[in-house]
Amino acid sequence: MNHLPNLFSPLKIKTMELSNRAVMPPMGTNLGNADGTVSEANLAYLKRRARGGPGLIITEISAVHPSGVAINSELGAYDDRFIPGLKKLADVAQTAGCKVALQLHHAGRESLYLLKEGKAIAPSPIRSLVFGLTPREITRDEIQEIIAAFGAAALRAREAGFDAVEVHGAHGYLLTQFLSILCNQREDEYSGNLSNRSRFMVEVLQEVRRRVGRDFPVSLRLSVEECIKEGYSVEDMQSILPNLVKAGADLIHASLGTHGSPGGITSAPGEYEPGFNAWRAKKVKEVVDVPVIAVGRFSDPVLADEVISRGEADLVAFGRQFLADPDFLIKMREGRPQEIRKCIACNQGCIERLILGEGKIRCAINPETGQETVYPQGPAAVLRKVWIVGAGPAGLTAAYEAARLGHEVTLFEKEEKSGGQLRFACQPPFKTSYGEWGNWLTFQVKKMGVTIHTNKAVTDGLIEGGNPEAVILAMGGEKIIPEIEGIGLPLVCDAWQILSGEVVPQANAVVVGGGLIGMETADFLSQKGTQVTLVETLKRSPVLKITSHGYMLHTRLRDKNCKLLFNTVVKRIAESSVTILSGGEEQTLSPVDQVVIAVGLKPRDDWQHILQTKGIRCIIIGDARQPRRIIEATEEGAQAAWSL
């Protein structure tokens, strides 16, 4: 029985027949070879997602010209030498029964390494909002060269066996730069009013259509709203959309924003509701008669089916959800929605990892993503009796992976419930998905047959009687208690007591610590009506505004009049005041009803020496090794299990 008749219905676009309306949109992976050719990692990554059964996969960006390469490992489509690799990419998707489109891309000014080399081009020499460097103005001859390059790359895609191509006209890359008055201030026919600024995009589409023929499907990914002050709106775009369809677009992929838009809206964090952008897709449908793809934090197939049912879109893109759980469509079809691992929109592995230069794509809650070529399928060659101490993200992931590989796993948690830091991390505003993921992970661990003991501390006698062959220590970090005069007073508590509800928020609070724990605790308190002053010894916040959640967090605290005092030390805590040292001067904060210690955690190595003395293999992971983010916890948990 088809429970989602709209999402799982077929759709024909020109010669391309889709089996369903679920789309895996383009996502940068950094998995390509250094010369822009397709790697084995690219193929394994795409193959894994194709197995999940989306109707259409649109590949990550592929450069149409050397002047538009965003990163060295970006796939290339600007020379015939790329065709063999691209053919393999198309084959792995089609073998799994999916249709696949190659996305054609030119970065324009949004290429850091080309900007640094003085080679980046743009409509006008206006600095990049992302990188802060200025490109040179593209010449009229170069405009014609790039138009021809899009057409030639589209033809290569067709020759490589792709079912369609997608022209990337979104997110602040070259085609969007021409659309935007904020970065297109030329004095020729490619500038001026929006119709003129769209001329470049129109001519690209016309050339692509000319090269691939009338029956080959062409998608156009658009930021239908710029989401920058004084940028174009979706209502503005409605005036030119019919011209873009007439020029050759058979499908409109209705995204939004640029990489320079505030709040990381192109990869929306948890502050945005699932499906928040669907109304813009409907605005597109009002003026064109081609299918439209809705985009915007979709993780639930039921919501996607409703969006299509309401006529807001014809297809729905599930981006990060395909990283979190490539099999979510299969699980929905089989009536197992509770088993879907839903994306928590943390962006740690997919977006932040790339923008912070931390390497190739990952998923903070799915250790297989980006590691498909090394992910062990199991069972393990030697099956062992494994104990895991601590049921936080690291311990639960280790338990799941070890059980999946066939080991006999027992999990011990000294607290009443599993989840570790997730039990607190899910309490601040917009973070309920963290708790939902923790519950899902606990459910999966139990389903895998892991024996879980809660309210159970591991003792020397327990180890002697149980005789495990390996122990994975994931008992979390130890709270840091700073040496401050007056820290033992009744008005002092810690962040975990506040977030758990053990201590009730008061009217005027000082939060000591400006890391993520402190910032989110301040956010939690502000939401409860507390007037918050946050004190941090560092010169600036370690919570980076360049990240989506960091930007939103800073913005909320500013809007709630939370005082953020950096380069500041707490000297004394009194009954109703706090003395600080800021800028070399002592100041007194008053009145103060509550002081919340949120300095963070430090690693702990309980049991390591004892286990080594007993000759039992010991692996330390997660916060017990070094307090960090979810992604480090889950990666270390998985790798510990894989290494057994």
Show which residues are catalytic: 173
Please work out, in degrees rounded to the nearest 5, the angle formed at the alpha carbon of residue 24 by the alpha carbons of 300 and 306: 35
Contact partners, residue 143, CB within 8 Å, separation at least 6: 190, 200
Token digits of residue 122: 């743009």
The Cα–Cα gap between 405 and 11 comes to 39
Cα atoms found within 13 Å of the Cα of residue 337, Cβ hemisphere only: 7
Contacts of 483 (CB under 8 A, 6+ apart): none
Burial of residue 529, with CB atoms counted within 10 A of its CB: 0-12 exposed, 13-18 middle, 19 or more buried:
exposed
Whether residue 44 contacts residue 93, with contact meaning beta carbons closer than 8 Å, is answered with no
Three-class secondary structure of residue 560 per DSSP: coil
Per DSSP, the three-state class of 205 is helix
Instruction: For 183-198, give one letter per residue: b (16+ CB within 10 A) or e.
Output: bbebeeebbeeeeebb
Q: Given the structure tokens 């992302």, which residue do they identify?
A: 130
* Bridge partner residues of 452 (DSSP): 411
Q: For Cα atoms 26, 27, 31, give the angle at the middle one, nearest 5 degrees.
A: 120
**Tokens representing 601?**
């955690």
Token pair, residue 275, equals 């499906």
Residue 380: strand, helix, or coil: coil
The torsion angles phi and psi of 225, rounded to 5 degrees, stand at -145, 135
From CA 472, how far away is CA 510, in angstroms rounded? 37
Cα distances (Å, whole numbers) of residue 77 to 28, 74, 390: 15, 10, 48
- Do the beta carbons of residue 106 and residue 121 sit within 8 Å? no
Q: Say which DSSP state 80 is in.
A: G
Nearest Cα residue to 30 out of 20, 22, 19, 42: 42
Give kind and range of the element (H or E) at residue 509: strand 508-512
Q: Say if residues 363 and 384 touch (Cβ distance below 8 Å).
A: no
CB 259 within 8 A of CB 266: yes
CA distance to 378, 383, 398, 485, 631, per residue, from 643 (Å): 12, 12, 11, 46, 18
DSSP character at residue 220? E
In 216-291, DSSP assigns E strands to 218-223, 251-255
How far apart (Å, rounded) are the C-alpha atoms in residues 240 and 283? 13
Tally Cβ neighbours within 10 Å of residue 377: 6
Residues in the chain: 644
